[in-house]
Chain A
């Protein structure tokens, strides 16, 4: 086992971390905007956001390849303006992770912002607080348990992304070889020992994430609903 290259672990973490930050900020923002406003086509927008959740990752990968490929609309734009090629690069790994984990964050955030009584925000407004103050001191704080759940789920999903990554980023050692890809190619080349190593790592990570999440949300649920101490 001494000759195992640890680069997939580092790469997976780095990718999942960055993807989660992007997904968290955009997800919270969108969930808030879409949740509080009614506009024509709202359900279609929400369906598009949630689509990667039900599509096979290969289909998501195909779509991304179409958009970011050499001749794709976004791919061409990035190439012409910034001389950046997305396909087969680390950026592709991040993009794939963002797209597949985004629906999980969005759903958690949308639910989290409906969990508490909207009158808390109204009360804060009547007390003269600005929208920004109300968001940070009331909405975000009260939605935090749900937002954190979405954060952990998105991170786990980004860490485990395989199909779309393979389609868009390919398997390039030290550049795009995340743990799931490393497992697949280890098995394909008959290196079961290496595959098992990564399988154990990723199962342990996923298991601890869910275990921690359950423990945390239970503890958090108790916090403001505990019986009166008097």
Chain B
């Protein structure tokens, strides 16, 4: 379980986020510039919150009063960036192998996501949907305790997006880890989130969604 209770001063407002995530998909939904990505960055350790506590399972990742800030590398958090951030100078396989824990598991993930035929290709040689699956495989190959998805479907066409939605739900059932997903799309929030948190001007509002 992930517990977040953070505050961070942004240029126009103060971000305040308090929420918990069990083994479920929690969607952060709201307009651009509301602080959604900053929340993900703070959890991953890419930026530092000004105040608060972040706890994942039994380990404290961040505690401002105790001056604890576990470095990004040791947080065991998978992060899928909006533009995927695949390494352009490495093949798909090298991208996935970069941080993998276990080769057998990495190969299994590759099979699950049906990207086995792409492993010798470079990122510029594959389509947007394929890039997204490679980035997801790369994140999962590190065997993360938590998965953060920053607008993972925004660059995809409608058909690929629908397929990716199904895939995410399937993977979640399989992996059973907490997932936080940021999205602009109302439909996506309702479809994929076990819970939806609406973010506006740095403040979180809970919106219940019938599952």
Contacts and interface: CB of A to CB of B under 8 A. Distances in A.
B97 to A, nearest CB: 10
B98 A120 contact: no
B33 interface: no
Interface residues of A, number: 22
Interface string A109-125: 00000000101101111
Contacts of A2: none
B68 to A, nearest CB: 18
A14 B85 CA distance: 41
Given A129-B99, A130-B73, A123 B142 contact: no
A225 B88 CA distance: 9
Interface in A137-189: 137-138, 141-142
B78 A126 contact: yes
Contacts of A5: none
Contact of B87 (A120, A226, A230): A120
A224 B88 contact: yes
A128 B70 CA distance: 12
Given A128-B74, A129-B73, A122 B85 contact: yes
Interface in A209-230: 224-226, 228-230
B89 A129 contact: no
B136 interface: no
Given A128-B73, A129-B73, A138 B99 contact: no
A125 B72 contact: yes
B89 A229 contact: no
B90 to A, nearest CB: 8
A120 B175 CA distance: 25
Nearest to A130: B73
B105 to A, nearest CB: 14
Contacts of A128: 73-74, 76, 99, 142
Interface in B101-131: 122-127
A120 B79 CA distance: 11
Contacts of B92: none
Given A129-B73, A142-B88, A142-B89, A124 B98 contact: yes
A141 B98 contact: no
Interface of B: 44-46, 71-79, 81, 83, 85, 87-89, 98-99, 122-127, 138-139, 142
Shortest Cβ-Cβ A-B pairs, 9 listed? A127-B99, A119-B85, A224-B88, A125-B72, A123-B85, A126-B79, A119-B81, A128-B73, A120-B85
5 contacts: A122-B81, A126-B75, A130-B73, A226-B125, A229-B125
Interface of A: 117, 119-120, 122-130, 137-138, 141-142, 224-226, 228-230
Given A137-B98, A226-B124, A230-B125, 13 more contacts: A117-B85, A120-B85, A123-B81, A124-B87, A126-B73, A128-B99, A129-B98, A141-B89, A225-B124, A228-B124, A228-B125, A228-B127, A230-B127
